[in-house]
Amino acid sequence: MKLSREGFDFLVGHEGIRYQVYDDHYGTIISSYSDAEGRPTIGIGHLINPDEYERFRPYLGGGKSMTHSQVYELFLDDVPRYYKFMNKIT
């Protein structure tokens, strides 16, 4: 199963697109990972794991922003991990 254009549009509409790291609990841009009460997130709902902190550190508040292309690439890298769950939907 692959993600359709309609599925992509739904996810973007639901998650939104964020170019800096934010707290998924409050939706606010954070300046430090320790500022997050929920999970640090970026792009189209990409939850940042602790082993990715250095990779996304430049995008903490006050830093630079990801480009639209970087966000889209990150999303396309994330989607295949969820295919196994999508295949269980009837």
How confident is the model over 31-88, as pLDDT tens digits? 999 999 999 999 999 999 999 999 999 999 978 999 999 999 999 898 887 666 666 6
pLDDT of residue 63: 86
Question: pTM of the full predicted structure?
Answer: 0.84
pLDDT of residue 88: 62
Q: Up-side HSE of residue 78: CA atoms within 13 Å toward CB?
A: 17
- For the chain, helix (H) and strand (E) counts, in that order, are 4, 3
- 9-38 average pLDDT score: 93
Structure tokens at 15: 């998650």
Task: Say whether pLDDT at 17 is over 90.
Answer: yes
